Structure 1
Amino acid sequence: MALTLIERIQNLLLRACAGLLYMFFWLLSPRGSSKPTKLPPISNPLLRLSAVQLARKIRKREVSSVEVVQAYIDRIQEINPLLNAVIKERFSTALHEAAQVDKLIEEEMGGEDVLEDRLPLLGVPITIKEAFALQGMPNSTGLLSRAQFLSSTDAPTVALLKRAGAIPLGVTNTSELCMWLESHNHLYGMTKNPYNLERIPGGSSGGEGSILAGGGSVIGIGSDIGGSIRMPCFFNGIFGHKTTSGVVSNDGQYPPCSGRHNEYLSTGPMCRYAEDLLPMLKIMAGPNARKLALSEEVDLKKLRFFSVPHDGGSPFTSPVDKQLIQAQRKVVERLEADLGVKVEELRVPQLKYSFQIWDTYMGLPDDNGQRPRPFKEYMAEGGPAVWPVWELVKWMMGRSSHTVPAIGLALVEMTQRSKPSQFILKQKEALQREIEELLGTDGVLLYPTHPQLAPKHHHPLFTPFNFSYTGIFNILGLPVTQCPLGLSVEGLPLGVQVVAGKLQDHLGLAMALYLEKAFGGWRDPGAA
């Protein structure tokens, strides 16, 4: 079914407005800079070990937790002035906690195995997306009106990671209210991509992606309602996992869920090394970990593989970059050569409606008839009421407290239909059936994460719907593992989404280990 005339006009108007806004940004941008344009390479060998390896060395007293934490603090202090990824640190507290860990290990009588079982991440540093409550740390998601807010408790997933022995170093930047793919807000400023400081790190977990890729953190926590784990992991060349819906708690985040958003939001791990995904997910899932068969060994030769190269030509999204198509093709070739499997290339017609499906389902009421809280109300949290049109006028005069993407989303909400399109509802149901039947319990699907390599700052305003490549799997509730595949000719990360059936998260995690060996995994941006 073709786009309606209204939808075509809306699309054209949004693109025209984006172009005008970008011109404003370009005219206001400073010309030239004396700052370095590249990160220094990693020199401390401790920063090249996975969290699993670090925890083992700490337990064996081959290295102290204090040494590890100090190494990461030094790296953050070295690169954060370039990246603006960590927006509030707790270094002195982290060093104190690391000293306590070292004392505990010295006094432990039960042996290394007991420590590994009880505290699998003991002494390992971690960073936390600022959208999560971390005791004593800000939890504003870039809202100026929440600038003074400090969390009094930990979000459940943060508490579980801390209980497993992880030591938070600080919190990382997000987009305003976590609803845009560039991590920029008027409270903390703009975060940059470590592979190219003129490029975005993605959003909304962009601060996490940036500091992890830069070597300033080894593991982190993100959240994803439209790709906010997977896009930053893709743009920054690291690993991430969007869990099966309902497995990991989404509580303790700001903004909180409303309407049916809890069905689509996923909290998950982000890391530089594939072997850290599974133990992190096991910890973060708590009692629900038993639903995921994470202890089950995966024989990749016994899986069925599928590859979808693009969404079928949606008018809302950009064509997929040829380097990304080629990278995905190389994955197919390696799988067939290494494992002796046949990867079936598919076209899935309903994927062409990914944006409309995501947009429609995000606006649906919950089972009690409660619709999602309007975005403009979140924007006004702790401050005066927000009128989107007036806010745009204020922004043009340099007087708004809000970013253009946030204002734009509030404006788009004003034009949304009160009743969902029956055609789009049918497309979603057909897509859900087809993908779930296709994958079952032993199927894996390869799909582009984003049609473009990491864009330049503000350029997503031209292509606001490209997140549809990730957002569709939030609505379908499927687990997706984001895997890096080396670097492009421009030195930017390549990658692919690995999609599995519901509760089959372990298949994606096994694929991450395989693809890391096959394609080299994360690359040091300072040496790239």
Structure 2
Amino acid sequence: MALSRLEKAQTWLWKAVMGLLYGLFRLLSPRSPAVSRRLPAVSNPLLAVSAMQLAQKIRRREVSSVEVVQAYIDRIQEVNPLINAMVKDRFAAALQEAAQVDKLIEEETGGEEVLEDRLPLLGVPLSVKESFALQGMPNSTGVISRRGVLATVDAPPVALLKRAGAIPLGVTNTSELCMWSESHNHLYGITNNPYDLERIPGGSSGGEGSILAAAGSVIGIGSDIGGSIRMPCFFNGIFGHKTTPGVVSNENQYPPSSGRHEDYLSAGPMCRYAEDLLPMLSIMAGPNAHMLSLSTKVDLKKLRFFSIPHDGGSRFTSPVNKQLLQIQRKVVERLEADLGVKVQEVHLPGLRYSFQIWDTYMTLPDKEGKPPQAFVELMGEPGRPVWPLWELLKWMMGRSEHTMAAIGLALVEMSHASKPVPFFIQQNEKLRKEVEELLGTDGVLLYPTHPNMAPKHHHPLFRPFDFAYTGILNILGLPVTQCPLGLSEEGLPMGVQVVAGKLQDRLPLAVAVYLEKAFGGWRDPGAK
């Protein structure tokens, strides 16, 4: 009974605070004119080819790297004024690097196979989330006080992709300090969803999701501590993979990991074509790639499949949209019809506490007892921590350098109890054991990514906890591939999370290739 009262009190408090903030936001924010323009359709055929196929064409001299890079530059210049996804480009440097690639291929005497083995992404364009260090490019994560910060090195996964021959075109927008489901900050502005410019592309890797879906990039890199790869991929109808934690390096990202965040944060690939996921991950994992056995072939008919339609009715999350429930059922039906497998529907009661578990574990100290860095400190760097209530007053007068989402998160941080609630620790341990026993080394789980398709701008302020569908899988430490499943009645992307046991990343990656063939994969937002 005490727990029930505590839950009700917490629910009321969260909803009251966020409802008030949302009301203030709607009242005080300037009204933006209605956006009616849509993206132009993809016209250059080079933009409709996977990264692996582009690399092959470049190696075979069927097309030059300069032609490919220029095609993507042209596309970015065409769509970025509408979506505001790429916040800083390096087009001139990219074209120079592409010319060097073409010269290298012209002079190569070892043959195509040598180039493929040594430089599998040679000449292929790449976009990078701005929170990753890309040498010479901004690394502010949308914080105005960091506007002059330039990266002096490459983050390890970025360096590995460049070493494999990929050519960065620029960096893409994020939510402020990467801790919100909408990519909006006062340094770069707000990013739009290519399928509906009045809707969000997700966060925090929303700029990546938007530029990829708009065919302004073919492959990209994102990070995920609560759904920051999967939500943007879901809202933008592309593929993305949250890697098993500890495989891909998280060094040289901002903000840096603290507390236990390293256990839950994963860097991973984002792309339009499923066949690019596995080779990208193999490259990004570097010396840890052997941990995933990615070269081992997967026979989908020998896997055990499970489906969970919703979280069991958490007070913190919205009901799952009927169209998303229907498309997940269609996936089940196709798997059973095509592969001859039986997909078992299961229910895990602990999922209804997904948000509370995520919130609890994100505040736990590391092994040395050091707590995670306070959000108010990150907001104020390189100066003193901000005062959330003062920032709220400044925001009401239009004087704050921070978004309402960041201010709201700082206010919520103030309400955290000094000690975690033991009940949620117990629920997580129970849920972890149940999931590990369920999936083993050959199980695959289908689970909704989010209760709804891409919301309209600023609406997540009113339903801030719907990310729990992705966040719980970070705490459980599981690999997840986000897969697009066509468009809704409103023309918005739909999709599903495909989950496997720890270090079994190759299983959901193989399912992604199957689902792309079965449901069509990425759709050109300009061709709706």
Cα distance in 2 for partners of 1:312, 1:214 equals 35
List per-residue Cα deviations over 1:231-277 (Å, max 9, x = no partner): 00000000000001111000010000001100000000000000000
Match of 1:97 in 2: 97
The TM-score with structure 2 as length reference comes to 0.98
Letter of the aligned partner of 1:268 in structure 2?
A: G
The TM-score with structure 1 as length reference comes to 0.98
Counterparts of 1:92-131 in structure 2 under 5 Å?
A: 92-131=92-131
Counterpart check, 1:268 vs 2:262: no
List per-residue Cα deviations over 1:77-120 (Å, max 9, x = no partner): 00000000000000000000000000000000111000000000
Aligned length: 527
Match of 1:30 in 2: 31
Secondary structure of the 1:269 match is strand
Cα distance in 2 for partners of 1:349, 1:519 equals 30
1:217 Cα offset (Å):
0.2
Match of 1:288 in 2: 288
Counterpart check, 1:402 vs 2:402: yes
Cα distance in 1 for partners of 2:53, 2:17 equals 49
> How large is the Cα RMSD of the aligned pairs?
1.2
Counterparts of 1:115-514 in structure 2 under 5 Å?
A: 115-514=115-514
Cα distance in 2 for partners of 1:228, 1:372 equals 19
1:385 Cα offset (Å):
2.8
Cα distance in 2 for partners of 1:23, 1:169 equals 39
Cα distance in 2 for partners of 1:166, 1:231 equals 25
1:18 Cα offset (Å):
3.2
Cα distance in 2 for partners of 1:110, 1:24 equals 65
1:11 Cα offset (Å):
2.9
Secondary structure of the 1:170 match is strand
Letter of the aligned partner of 2:322 in structure 1?
A: K
Letter of the aligned partner of 1:281 in structure 2?
A: L
1:9 Cα offset (Å):
3.5
Cα distance in 2 for partners of 1:2, 1:509 equals 43
1:411 Cα offset (Å):
1.1
1:32 Cα offset (Å):
3.5
Moved more, 391-400 or 75-84: 391-400
List per-residue Cα deviations over 1:491-523 (Å, max 9, x = no partner): 000000000011100001000000000000000
1:3 Cα offset (Å):
5.1
Secondary structure of the 1:526 match is helix
Secondary structure of the 1:499 match is strand
Letter of the aligned partner of 1:275 in structure 2?
A: E
Secondary structure of the 2:411 match is helix
Cα distance in 1 for partners of 2:385, 2:476 equals 34
Letter of the aligned partner of 1:290 in structure 2?
A: H
Secondary structure of the 1:87 match is strand
8 A contact 2:377–2:384 mirrored in 1: no
Letter of the aligned partner of 1:30 in structure 2?
A: R
CA 1:30–1:304: 2 relative to 1, 3 Å = same
Cα distance in 2 for partners of 1:241, 1:277 equals 7
Cα distance in 2 for partners of 1:115, 1:52 equals 13
8 A contact 2:192–2:201 mirrored in 1: yes
Secondary structure of the 1:497 match is strand
1:30 Cα offset (Å):
3.1
Cα distance in 2 for partners of 1:319, 1:293 equals 37
Letter of the aligned partner of 1:160 in structure 2?
A: L
Letter of the aligned partner of 1:336 in structure 2?
A: E
Letter of the aligned partner of 2:381 in structure 1?
A: E
Counterparts of 1:79-98 in structure 2 under 5 Å?
A: 79-98=79-98
List per-residue Cα deviations over 1:40-82 (Å, max 9, x = no partner): 0000000000000000000000000000000000000000000
Letter of the aligned partner of 2:471 in structure 1?
A: G
Secondary structure of the 1:389 match is helix
1:26 Cα offset (Å):
3.7
List per-residue Cα deviations over 1:292-338 (Å, max 9, x = no partner): 11111111000000000000000000000000000000000000000
1:14 Cα offset (Å):
3.3
Cα distance in 1 for partners of 2:24, 2:274 equals 41
Cα distance in 1 for partners of 2:3, 2:148 equals 45
Cα distance in 1 for partners of 2:489, 2:21 equals 30
Letter of the aligned partner of 1:235 in structure 2?
A: F
Match of 1:66 in 2: 66
Give unmatched runs, 5+ long, in structure 1: none
Letter of the aligned partner of 2:361 in structure 1?
A: Y
Cα distance in 2 for partners of 1:101, 1:196 equals 37
Cα distance in 2 for partners of 1:287, 1:520 equals 34
CA 1:179–1:230: 2 relative to 1, 3 Å = same
Match of 1:527 in 2: 527
CA 1:156–1:404: 2 relative to 1, 3 Å = same
1:13 Cα offset (Å):
3.6
Secondary structure of the 2:525 match is coil
1:31 Cα offset (Å):
5.4
List per-residue Cα deviations over 1:123-148 (Å, max 9, x = no partner): 00000000000000000000000001
1:4 Cα offset (Å):
4.6
1:394 Cα offset (Å):
1.1
1:36 Cα offset (Å):
4.9
Cα distance in 1 for partners of 2:86, 2:303 equals 40
Give unmatched runs, 5+ long, in structure 2: none
List per-residue Cα deviations over 1:460-512 (Å, max 9, x = no partner): 01111100000001001100000000000000000000000111000010000
Cα distance in 2 for partners of 1:472, 1:13 equals 21
What is the aligned-residue identity percentage? Answer: 76
